[in-house]
Amino acid sequence: MSIVSGLSMGFMSDGQSALFKNIAADLNLNHADTSVETAIVSLFNGIMFPVTGFLCTRIGTRKPVLIGITLMGAGLTLMHFVDSA
């Protein structure tokens, strides 16, 4: 579980900085607006990590991981239907 968390946080902290200018240009945002978006995502992760840890301790790791995989798959499937003009 820690390997998955490490990889996801590595992408968020290191990978997002490589995409920062492209995200700002695509969404027509300035540097401050894009930084606020990054801060909101980091805050959400900070809130959800203890919740996930509690769930994994309480009910085991299998169910939270399966729920996460299902939600991620549903989200990626729904992204197929997004119309970017």
**What are the tens digits of pLDDT across the range 41-67?**
888 888 888 888 888 899 998 988 888
Provide the H-helix boundaries in the chain: 2-10, 16-26, 31-59, 62-79
Task: Confirm whether pTM is higher than 0.75.
Answer: no
Domain ranges of the chain: 2-79
| Residue 3 phi, psi dihedral angles, 5° rounding | -65, -45
pLDDT at residue 1 greater than cutoff 60 = no
